[in-house]
Structure 1
């Protein structure tokens, strides 16, 4: 008997059509705490999450946490947050267990309010449970002792109390659990005593009305309410702590108990698809308006059906966020998923691991038939989730012939036929049994059916593994064999009938044309020397006939072939390959939609082809496909609905082509951070940022501040936000837009004074761009010597000097003229005297010659002495080189640690180097470091030997294995050894260290810490280079404000590449004194990442040599690459 199961079926609202992509965020992703109490998207587009461990802002890339600090009255009042709301003045109100905080989003500053004994306009109680904003902009605050209306226009938080019972009075005490301001301006309050209605009366008075939730029950006691929702129809939904869900029709004042026994109802929310979600203590639920019942949400591997759900919120991009108690935050994305998926294991009770689907068929009852290789045939009712499994049963002659199913087709009379190993099976829908058909009584490979086609005359045609063609007359239940084989080696993949009634058959190495009337092959083409139609060597798979009659052929390795006829009627094949836009040349099956577009399943996703424009559009698992690799023969098209199905390694992808379109949501672009010298700027009156980064429109920098500055930004589209793209341009500096890809930050250095405009454009995951984007005016002030007043003063001073010098020269010439006249007289007298002096000078010259000869001999003696000293110095330096080479890790040590999976590019500027690398082990951790000491040559070498000795002590002796601790200890040792606290010297080093630890699951745990140096790495199969910045700390430099070195942990898959480097490669100049730069280093590493490590080293050395041609090496260069 068939096995029927529905125990684990997916249960989601039908409007989502199985198109969900669910992601989970916990403290591991940066969330401050895993208990999420409330969710908000602010007016700028940022997501805010209230947790019991602080407030979190999320921009699609990272979380920013706001936490209370003990003794700081200017920050958050408490970390245990119950609810948050944004008012019309862009301030977030935060209800906590110890009072109320208000965060000004423009300034980033907090105002706090708490209950003050004896102060009537203070908060009535510190435990704030609920918040709400009415149409007038007033913020209402629900506490354990009544509700308060805040005066929002006042800088100081003042409140007017309602439903408040002071201690010692006879008034009822009200615990406020929910506040709802409806579309009519009425305020509804959920209390521990039931539902209250607050209305404003003439003269500013307020009236209260109690709404009993069960008016027909005399013994009903008021229920404590936690959530209230007004839906799009104006109805009021009320969730209580005892698990009841009520529906209030306000027009008739009628209360209905909609559901009970739900466990505690914590939140109610209606999304843009009009689905009402119910968050309960026992999971996420939704309201089925058709059945008037509450459904429990179930999606495999999410656990949302049995964990406590505290809150829900849908953002502007269509993502539903779900906050839980202890399980973090769920991100339910229905936008980026363009395809529905059906996975066999999601529907079965048995531990079935096989999800490969070998064949697909949909019957008239919207039920899918799915073929498997080992587990028979699955019959899935898509409406109910019920699945029936048909298998071979040895004792049941009405079961399948074999559990290995291959193809499934529907004959002209509507009967369903299944190909299994051994023969054909006809399904009897009434009895849910199969009638067996055998070509021969005894099974043989030669008669094993591989391909099946139903013709228009209610006959089935099939090919076998033995290369034969058979016909089954369904009415007569009789097989007949064609007079000739179809010509081919082994099985055929497909049969199709063309407009002339000729069968086209694709074999392993051939295409055969078969005339069913003549029962003979009329044409046969294969890949050989006499191939006249252009058939290529790889196997043709499916031959597909479009509605126009055009034939298309998929191949396993040669792409897509189009059958083109010439004037003589002879056909040839025209091929489309990866060069034309296909994702791969390994293709399987083709379907045609109502717009005459071809959809092709491949070994790398699904491709859409427009035969008119000859353009391809490709889809991958990132678009919601269950897998990359699909299966041959696993496809189906419903011509009525135009729905298509392709089966593969992990189930079935189902879609209606007209609904597969880009997400048209244009992401908002916001500035999230601005940094000077890699330090975030905190807004203040004297800082470049007067407001928070996202509210900043203009930044003014001094000449000194503009040395290095960075912008960080975010596209606030949260559907597949990791695929958002960015472009930037600094107008006035950049000549064209810079494409950053997924990187959401950019750094500028050495920008000249002037006025610029920084622009950012961003796109969502489907390439829909916000071309208006972000615009920030940037003003860089000139240095004092570049100001107009300095230039004017300098010009005036120069003119004064020129004029003064001119007058001075005129007077000097006059004086010279007088002196010359007097000199002529004197010279005449002196001529006689000079004659006598010449004789005396000759004698002096002879004496000077003798002295010069003696000096020359002395110089030669000194030169000889200098030569000897230079020789000894060179010998000492060579000895220092030998010592330095001895302390570096030997090749054998690197081999033991990394085998051949490393390279070392080491180029000292002088004989000895200030750069060195270090390798050590602590337990099962390998510790590798690259260190850049102050200076190069002999001073650098001395520092490297000091550093090497200290590292041996810190790691090998003290067994320190955390890179951050190693660098911190090295800071202490350097300061002590070099007596920096007494001398104030700043000699030291920059460094990058990693600790590698192999995990049991073949992954590697990598801990990184850097002092002024980053870590670069490339994941397997990735086309991007990821960067982790080092800490802004240099070893040996004493900072006024305490700076620490942080450690970063990565869990990486096998064959991840890591690169550790000093700054020598980056800072090397070319002949025009242009630095090689970090961007070029990144590009060079990406370019060689697919090569072996030895080849990487060779290519990088060549790249550096070409860049340095015509100039000298500037600094020591050290770069190490490691594959783990």
Structure 2
């Protein structure tokens, strides 16, 4: 039978955007504004004016606030808002402070912060802050109208840099410096919606109602305008890109080359960038970005760009979710992909060809020869001649159904039909039938889950109850593998055997016959496959990717939200390509490919410890940005300190120590201290495994001394006696 491969180009999938935990649980956060906390965390204000603090693990809502999402900004740990002709500031859970009062007839119309100071504007004047929080430079609106006649001027944004204020209006951009106002002749004369300053190169990014402009303040002739035909709502920057949020989607503007790219998303993808309107963007300082849209809040990590995601389906109507998607290395280049209905070949350029239509359970390859286990038995494919042969029709004793096959360095192809184990010489076409006597009878009924050939006379057989080694016809069961359950994937070198199983992973040294349980980066996770590259072993699990040395020590781990999705990988579906140097993994959401060397050379951001809330006797006292606060605690009161890891815990846990005790594990992320003694108390908290002074944080609180424990009381008692 001749093959007629059906060729198509594999489609790159959009980048992964992660929903907040609140939204992943079915709730919805319609945030209109996002603000970064001073020490970490994220403040959000939604369309119903609810204010929440997100610490990377949970949401905490503030009650009874006097502002709404249209007239507030968050700056230096305080909310700044306007009511009529008054400017107020308020720390979370703190008292309201009246900062400034304008004339009774002047109502504050807009406010914000730019650089190191707050600004606000009325119908008649603009107020620009300075180092003193209640003193402002004042510009009359008449100054603006000298440059523009017509409709009234409205202030929309302002930002300070190097002693000058750049002020965005509905009629263009202005500069206030040395007490004088000038119109800035930008490329585009139009309504300014938002401003962003890049301090390193002293470039101003200007968002208009119709596009975005990059304006080098030191080289104004080099400015460039990018027409988008849509309203720019938000701007933010990372180390590599300017982020431009519009009313019709998100754009990335490369900082060095100024290449503009619209970010694609799939509206039917639960992990896609949901919504068109990008209301707010907040960088977290660790290559991550928080994104508020009209359909919820998402998180994106630039670390995810180390992964390439593609779809290999030729049917555009198929959903990304595949019930089966296994990948295997193709020594000729690229890799093989097995779906629930076909076998595909994907080359280095991303072009895929459907090689076989039908259910395929396993394959093995030598140069231009491919063997596949199908529901119609074992097939041989001559890739050079594009010819397929059903081996059962020409070879006696070949099973009608074959489930798993593996070809080692010799000429022997190992295969099974149920518990019947066979070896097949691909040159002589001779079959050696081992029957089912190799299985320990105590474990019957049983099932073969994986075969890994080590040569003509030796193979590893994974089962639903552990690992067997078949060597020159003799079967040896590794009893220590039984508690690990079903073997899903095997990889081996000359002596070492690595196994991913349902209930963990293990390393077995066949020469020394030593068994080692592999430590998982995060407990209660499920390994799905294992592969190796350049002496590093990669274990893929429900929690992400973990790299091990040859002795089983963890050297790298990454999971959500750094490029991979929790629970996305499929059993027994990863492979290393020596030709390309990349690892490919079958995912429920397509094919994931990455260069292991780049992952090892680029460690994921280390989460920072965040104190999110301090409560005294069940009453919240401080929320966010409380590390430098020293609360006063009454004698006899209890103290509860809520910690978190920012921006994501990613399987990490916390340790702490006090003045009296050395480092100890924290149960969860909260410390409860019942009736501490009088005096100053200090607690140091760090991520487990990283307790260096640069990584830990300290928190102190003061417990008051009751009158009956003071020196004066004891003196009085002594004199009285």
Query: TM-score under structure 1 normalisation?
Result: 0.52
Are 2:633 and 1:679 aligned? Answer: no
Does the alignment pair 1:189 with 2:189?
no
1:264 equivalent to 2:193? Answer no
1:627 matches 2:560? no
Partner of 2:536 in structure 1?
597
- Secondary structure at the residue paired with 2:638? strand
Give the direction of change, closer, same or farther, for the CA distance of 1:451–1:680 in structure 2 (3 Å limit): closer
Q: Please tell me whether residue 359 in structure 1 is matched to residue 327 in structure 2.
A: yes
Map Cα deviations across residues 551-580 of structure 1 (whole Å, 9 max, x no partner): 426486896463544xxxxxx743334799
- Counterpart selection for 1:404 from 359, 362, 368: 359
Displacement of 1:744 in angstroms is 2.4
Contact 1:286/1:295, CA 8 A, preserved across alignment: yes
Name the CA shift for 1:403/1:766 in 2 (closer, same or farther; >3 Å).
Answer: farther
| Aligned partner of 2:713 among 790, 802, 808 | 790
What is the deviation of 1:279? Answer: 0.7
CA 1:583–1:406 in structure 2 vs 1: closer, same or farther (change >3 Å)? farther
Q: In 2 relative to 1, CA 127–759 (structure 1 residues): closer, same or farther, beyond 3 Å?
A: same
SS of the residue corresponding to residue 323 of structure 1 reads: strand
Query: Residue 639 of structure 2 aligns with which residue?
Result: 710
What corresponds to 2:606 in structure 1? 665
For 1:282 and 1:339, locate their aligned partners in 2 and report how far apart those are by CA, in whole Å. 26
Q: Give the deviation of 1:226 after TM superposition.
A: 0.9
Q: Which has the greater radius of gyration? A: 1
Aligned Cα RMSD in Å?
5.0
Greater fraction of residues in helix: 1
- Verify the 8 A CA contact 2:246 2:279 in the aligned structure 1: yes
* SS class of match (1:349): coil
Query: Are 1:562 and 2:508 matched, yes or no?
Result: yes
Give deviations 1:171-214, integer Å, cap 9, x for gaps.
763222232445x5543333222233x152xxx33140342435
Is the contact between residue 643 and residue 669 of structure 2 (CA under 8 Å) also seen in structure 1?
no
Contact persistence 2:635–2:706 (CA under 8 A): no
Report what 1:524 is aligned to: 474
Give 3-state SS (helix, strand or coil) of 1:127's partner: strand
Alignment of 1:980-1019 (within 5 A): none
Verify the 8 A CA contact 2:414 2:451 in the aligned structure 1.
Answer: no
Q: What is the CA deviation profile of residues 297-353 of structure 1, one whole-angstrom value per residue up to 9, with x for unaligned ones?
A: 42632553542111101123443111234x343333566999877677999532465
The correspondence for 1:295, drawn from 262, 266, 285, is 262
Partner of 1:308: 277
Structure 1 alignment gaps of length 5 or more: 13-17, 70-77, 215-221, 391-398, 474-479, 514-521, 566-571, 684-690, 799-1124
**Which residue pairs with 2:582 in the alignment?**
643
Hey, what's the Cα distance between the residues in 1 that align with 2:25 and 2:95?
Answer: 26
Contact 2:73 2:111 (C-alpha < 8 Å) held by counterparts: no
Match of 1:228 in 2: 195
* Paired residue total: 688
1:275 equivalent to 2:248? Answer no
SS where residue 484 of structure 1 aligns? Answer: strand
Residue 552 (structure 1) aligned with residue 497 (structure 2): yes
Is the Cα contact below 8 Å between 1:556 and 1:587 reproduced in 2? yes
> By how many angstroms is 1:153 displaced?
1.9
How far 1:268 sits from its partner (Å)?
A: 1.9
User: Contact 1:320/1:332 (CA < 8 Å) preserved in 2?
Assistant: yes
Residues of 1 paired with 2:353 and 2:69: CA distance? 51
Match of residue 36, structure 2, among 7, 29, 41: 41
The CA distance in 1 between the partners of 2:689 and 2:663, in whole Å, is: 19
Which residue of the other structure, out of 451, 459, 465, is the alignment partner of 1:494? 451
Q: Does 1:574 align with 2:528?
A: no
1:421-449 deviations in Å (ceiling 9; x for gaps):
434364869xxx95312213389971545
What secondary structure does 1:148 align onto? strand
Structure 1 residue aligned with 2:433: 485
Distance 1:790 1:535 in 2: 69
The TM-score with structure 2 as length reference comes to 0.77
CA distance in 2, matches of 1:353, 1:30: 23
1:371 shift after superposition:
0.7
- CA distances 1:243-302 after superposition (whole Å, capped 9, x unpaired): x233445525144342423x2111122113x12211111222323677933322426325
8 A contact 1:41–1:47 mirrored in 2: yes
> Which has more strand, going by share of residues?
2
The residue that corresponds to 1:982 in the other structure is none
The 1-side partners of 2:543 and 2:468 are apart by 25
Q: Map 1:1024-1063; keep pairs closer than 5 Å.
A: none
In 1, Cα distance between equivalents of 2:482 and 2:52: 59
Q: Go from structure 1 to structure 2 and tell me whether the alpha carbon gap of 1:506 and 1:259 turns closer, same or farther (over 3 Å shift).
A: same
- Which ranges in structure 2 are unaligned for 5 or more consecutive residues? 438-446
C-alpha distance 590-578 of structure 1, shift in aligned 2 (>3 A): closer
Shift of 1:746: 1.4
Residues 757, 145 of structure 1: alpha-carbon distance in 2 compared, 3 angstrom cutoff: same
CA separation in 2, counterparts of 1:4 and 1:68? 57
Higher relative contact order by CA 8 Å / sep ≥ 6: 1 or 2? 2
Which of 118, 122, 127 does residue 148 from structure 1 map onto?
Answer: 127
Contact between 1:247 and 1:256, CA under 8 Å: does it hold in 2? yes
State the distance in 2 between where 1:313 and 1:68 align. Answer: 23
Report the CA distance shift for 1:296/1:284 in structure 2 as closer, same or farther (over 3 A).
same
